[in-house]
């Protein structure tokens, strides 16, 4: 199959260093600043300077505090241990003032975060397992957990498995009807042992125990990262974590019922076929200049040959460089592409959707600043700020806030190690911020004077 764009192979990435490059800063806020003095003019006070955590876990501004509410390996309410590699999350309103936190675990075969790898026989017959293998094979260890959190006491009252037997549940997103869409991001999609992976699964927030794992095949089979749902239409927008990925939407036949089927589509630019938005070799899409989007129907979304993105590109879809974080804002979808741009430092796109297309804007394409590096998960605060979690891999990762005026400030920094921060999300009332330190597997709840941010 002839592909209209250069396909970057893993060996090439290791040689060129693209595996560690990523979404880097908000250029509209930073301009082309290359000096510390230039960067300082683009900052705002935010919540003030960070204070070193005496316990060595996470630095926060004055007046803020955190509590570790979950740790990998601890015994949960259902008798199982907390799995490791916590990643994407969302918080839902629970009963009697409680918060239900639904959390992914980015575990694949060979992961050590469970300790000994589980077998299907590790679980009672009442527990539905998506891919438990045989008695000789280990169970796929990915999935989700639920935490029932009391913000008054700052205690987790229940914690339990809610999805079992899936592969590398990376991110996902909440739905307006009270569920979490968890997304698989398999390393390999053309290999396996009989049960296919690379799907999205829906996990209800208000159900206790392990839920029946039913793949949402209409949402496509690929290396999923995150989703966002338009609350007005029920349309699901999806990112793909590939170096030659697409940006998708799923138009359901029934709003709120993704199992009923629908049409998977890929985004394209009106009047320009197969645009390479990565801007690696030449500027093909300009920053700050919205273009008209359209959508291309995709056939055979289950993609047994892992060629969905290739077929979409041949049909005219736009190419994106490793789509990751995705969140619904005020009538718009925000998503970042980790290694887009001429320096492979990343891009941030904003889509304002309409029935037949909408407006797509390359909102930010950083080139020089290292104030914010390798943005991954993102969310929207109650005051409208974009909050971005870093996944640097080489040094301390932080949470950054971005105001509507394009000013940046730090909310927190990982003092424990160089692990990524993941799963950033707010409680429904906006008063608690949850975040994971993926290794060694901690979930934190952060509280403080969120209304005191200075511009």
Cα 289 to its chain centre, rounded Å, is: 26
Question: 173 has which bridge partners?
Answer: 181
Given a contact cutoff of 8 angstroms between Cβ atoms, the answer to whether 68 and 434 are in contact is no
* Whether pLDDT at 381 is above 80: yes
* SS (HEC) of the chain: CCCCCCCCCHHHHHHHCHHHCCCCCCHHHHCCCCCHHHHHCCECCECCCEECCCCCCEEEECCCEEEEEEECCCECCCCCECCCCEEEEEEEECHHHCEEEEEEECCCCCCCCCCCCCCHHHCCCCCCCCCCCCCCCCCCCEEEEEEEEECCCCEEEEEEEEEEEECCEEEEEECCCCEEEEEECCCCCCCCCCCCCCCEEEEECCCCCCCCCCECHHHCCCCEEEEEECCCCCCEEEEECCCCECEEEEEEEECCEEEEEEEEEEEEECCECCCECCCCCCCCCCECCCEEEEEEECCCCCCCCCCHHHHHHHCCCCEECCEEEEEECCCCEEEEECCCCCCCCCEEEEEEECCCEEEEEEEECCCCCCCCCCEEEEEECCCCCEEEEECCCCCCCEEEEECCCCCEEEEEEECCCCCCEEEEEECCCCCEEEEEECCCCEEEEEECCHHHCEC
Strand 65-71, strand 442-447: pairing: antiparallel
Please report how many Cα atoms fall inside a 13 Å half-sphere around the Cα of residue 364, on the Cβ side: 28
Q: Are 400 and 408 in contact (CB under 8 A)?
A: yes
The C-alpha angle with vertex 22 and arms to 180 and 350, in degrees rounded to 5, equals 55
Q: What percent of the chain has pLDDT over 90?
A: 69
Which is more confident, 220 or 394? 220
User: Does position 21 have pLDDT exceeding 90, yes or no?
Assistant: no
Q: pLDDT at residue 277 above 80?
A: yes
Cβ–Cβ < 8 Å for 88, 170: yes
pTM score, two decimals? Answer: 0.91
Phi first, then psi: what are they for 19, rounded to 5°?
-65, -25
Average pLDDT, the chain: 88
Among 20-29, 104-113, 390-399, name the one with the lowest average pLDDT: 20-29
Q: How far, in Å, CA of 408 to CA of 26, rounded? A: 8
Name the more confident of 25 and 409.
409
Q: Could you give the CA distance from residue 364 to residue 315 in angstroms, rounded to a whole number?
A: 27
- Contact 77/158 with Cβ under 8 angstroms? yes
What whole-number distance in Å separates Cα of residue 186 and Cα of residue 108?
8
Assess whether pLDDT exceeds 90 at residue 330.
yes
Q: Determine the average pLDDT of the residues in 341-345.
A: 82
Cα–Cα distance for residue pair 234/147, rounded to 1 Å: 26
Rounded-to-integer distance, Cα 288 and Cα 380, Å: 21
Q: Check whether 112 has a pLDDT greater than 80.
A: no
Quick check: 123 pLDDT over 80? no
Q: What is the pLDDT of residue 25?
A: 36
Break the chain into its structural domains and give their ranges.
43-69+370-455
Q: Which of 235, 228, 227, 233 is CA-nearest to residue 263?
A: 235
- 132: number of CA atoms within 13 Å, CB side? 15
What's the maximum distance between 2 C-alpha atoms anywhere in the chain? 62
Pull the structure tokens for residue 394.
Answer: 């080489």
Q: What does the alpha-carbon distance between residue 216 and residue 199 come to, in Å, rounded to a whole number?
A: 6
**Residue 410 pLDDT greater than 70, yes or no:** yes
Question: 36-40 — which CB contacts under 8 Å span 24+ positions?
Answer: 39/369, 39/371
The rounded distance, in Å, linking the Cα atoms of 131 and 109 is 11
Q: Is the pLDDT of residue 260 over 50?
A: yes
CA distances for 147 relative to 119, 335, 379, 428, 449, angstroms: 24, 27, 19, 15, 24
Of 59, 71, 52, 106, the closest CA to residue 440 belongs to 71
Whole-number pLDDT of residue 22: 35
Q: Answer for the pair 23, 336: CB distance below 8 angstroms, yes or no.
A: yes
Note if the bond before 433 is cis, omega within 30 degrees. no
Note whether 327 and 380 are within 8 A (CB): yes
Q: Is the pLDDT of residue 207 over 60?
A: yes
Burial tier of 115 (Cβ tally within 10 Å: 0-12, 13-18, 19+)? exposed
């Amino acid at each position: 199959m002839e592909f209209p764009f250069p396909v970057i192979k893993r060996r090439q990435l290791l040689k060129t260093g693209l595996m560690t490059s990523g979404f880097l800063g908000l250029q509209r806020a930073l301009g082309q600043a290359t000096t510390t003095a230039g960067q300082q003019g683009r900052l705002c006070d935010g919540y003030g300077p960070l204070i070193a955590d005496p316990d060595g876990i996470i630095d926060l501004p004055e007046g803020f505090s955190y509590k570790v509410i979950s740790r990998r390996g601890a015994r949960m309410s259902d008798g199982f241990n907390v799995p490791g590699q916590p990643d994407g999350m969302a918080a839902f309103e629970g009963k009697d003032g409680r918060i239900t936190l639904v959390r992914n675990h980015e575990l694949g075969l060979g992961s050590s975060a469970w300790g000994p790898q589980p077998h299907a026989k590790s679980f009672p017959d009442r527990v539905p397992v998506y891919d438990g293998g045989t008695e000789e094979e280990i169970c796929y260890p990915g999935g989700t957990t639920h935490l029932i959190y009391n913000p008054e006491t700052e205690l987790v009252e229940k914690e339990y498995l809610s999805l079992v037997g899936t592969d590398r549940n990376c991110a996902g997103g909440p739905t307006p009807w009270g569920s979490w869409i968890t997304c698989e991001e398999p390393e390999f999609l053309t290999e396996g042992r009989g049960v296919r992976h690379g799907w999205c699964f829906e996990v209800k927030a208000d159900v206790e125990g392990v839920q029946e794992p039913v793949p949402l095949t209409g949402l496509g089979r690929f290396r999923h990262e995150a989703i966002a749902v338009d609350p007005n239409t029920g349309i699901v927008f999806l990112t793909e974590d590939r170096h030659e990925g697409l940006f998708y939407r799923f138009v359901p036949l029934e709003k709120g019922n993704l199992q009923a089927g629908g049409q998977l589509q890929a985004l394209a630019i009106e009047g320009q076929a197969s645009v390479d938005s990565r801007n690696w070799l030449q500027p093909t899409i300009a920053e700050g200049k919205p273009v008209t989007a359209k959508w291309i129907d995709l056939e055979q979304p289950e993609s047994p040959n892992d060629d969905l993105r290739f077929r979409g590109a041949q049909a005219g879809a736009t190419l994106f460089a490793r789509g990751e974080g995705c969140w619904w804002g005020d009538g718009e979808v925000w998503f970042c592409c980790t290694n887009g741009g001429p320096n492979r430092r990343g891009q941030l796109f904003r889509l304002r959707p309409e029935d037949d297309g909408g407006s797509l804007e390359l909102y930010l394409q950083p080139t020089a600043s290292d104030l914010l590096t390798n943005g991954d998960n993102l969310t929207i605060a109650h005051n409208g700020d974009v909050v971005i979690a870093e996944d640097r891999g080489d040094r301390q990762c932080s949470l950054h806030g971005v105001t509507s005026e394009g000013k940046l400030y730090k909310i927190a920094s990982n003092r424990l190690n160089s692990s990524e921060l993941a799963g950033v999300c707010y409680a429904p009332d906006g008063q608690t911020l949850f975040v994971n330190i993926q290794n060694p597997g901690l979930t934190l709840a952060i509280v403080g004077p969120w209304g005191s941010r200075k511009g």
